[in-house]
Structure 1
Amino acid sequence: MKMLLAPALAAVATLAGCAATGTGPATPAPPAEAYMALGTEPGWTLEITPARLAYNGDYGATRVAVANPGARPSFNGERYVTDRLTVDVTHSACSDGMSDRRYRDTVTVTAEGKTVKGCGGAILPAADLTGTRWTFVSIGGTPVVADRPTELAFEGERMSGSAGCNRFGGSYAVEDGVLTAGQLAATLMACPGAGMAQERAFFDLMKTPVRLNFPSDGTMVLTGENGQTAVLKRVI
């Protein structure tokens, strides 16, 4: 019986101590966001978490997972060194080689003697909208309906796409982070459900200039003068 009572009494004492000091058990810190990197020819990915480095190379044929040894300072970046895996992260803008998507860092990985280079970290804003393609995530704060395909493409001085119903197109210009659309011509098809409503909300948004913002998650946010927004995701 004494052996059973001892843990219980210890627990009561711990709780009493918390009450006396006015503090409760410490809230666990949220897990740190994983750092991701990738490369092409051959395709590879790298995930860095506080616990480990996980490399997937040669289109999946090579897999190396090791404990995270901690980052060492290096020239304009960080370095991770283990017996099987060495990672150099340099804070220098990088293109992924498959599109014009740009990342904050240039990443070099040596996995079991083989070295590859690629990109990692936050996705940087598009240097130029020309040649980029996007899909809508939300319009006016409302998520787009999944069964209505959407698109927004920029080619030269023209933009075109669909906000969930009709195809549209027109001219556009960007200056000082503000996009101004010309008169948008659209087909005249009626669409059931939410497709027509989200299209109307987008056309209303584009009647006035919209400010462009590029969060670190790789999305593009169009914000109108009335505070309404459209959030789009880049198509690779």
Structure 2
Amino acid sequence: MRWAIIGLAAVLTAGASHAADDSLTARGNEPSWRLDVSAAGIDFEAPGLGLTFKAPVAARDVQDGRPRFIAEAGGERLEATVIEQPCADTMTGMPFPTGVEVSYAGRTFQGCGGEIMSAIEGGWRVIRLGGSLVPEGVMVTIEFGKEGRVSGRSGCNRFSGGYTLTGEGLSFGPLRVTRMACPEPQMETEQRFLDLIQKVSRATPGENRQLRLMAGDEQAMVLDRAD
């Protein structure tokens, strides 16, 4: 069963307080579990283990630099820690902004947190195409906008079009490209980029908060956050 992460809103701050303005929803597997934190309190269940927990109040604090939700009810305690680094779905590899670790009933449950869109939205610089570095002096960029729009520089020209993002995968197209001619290696790089972007089927976190775009099991390109 695939994990799916639905939402994480608000930046958590130090000092315990009622989490009325924060919400967190996460799911995990092996075993299957779900956590919901909202102004109404905290709700956790792991159906396969027969575990449920509900509390009307969730406090928050920061431990070892990590935001944490805490709740107690019926003599039991639940802690949900937000790990502020990119997290990958175990089945698809799709990226999410944060990890989530839930401690309850003597067990630790691990999953992801945040909306998938926030993990990729914004500007990226393409640093690798396949296994090769983009040549020095050639600019290839991707800007993920809202409502499924994408744009950027393809090495020589500019491109724009649409993309489809789900918890299962990522795809591009159709794309429109301007028609300016450039010297090599810009044109060669552009053609490779345009060929590869059409083959992308999913994304996954890379090293140092980079993003890898995959064509099946093959790496299509590696992206680094634009300055």
Question: TM-score scaled to structure 2, two decimals?
Answer: 0.48
- Say which one has the larger Rg: 1
Structure with the higher fraction of residues in helix conformation: 1
Higher normalized contact order (CA 8 Å, seq sep 6+, divided by chain length) = 2
Higher strand content, 1 or 2: 2
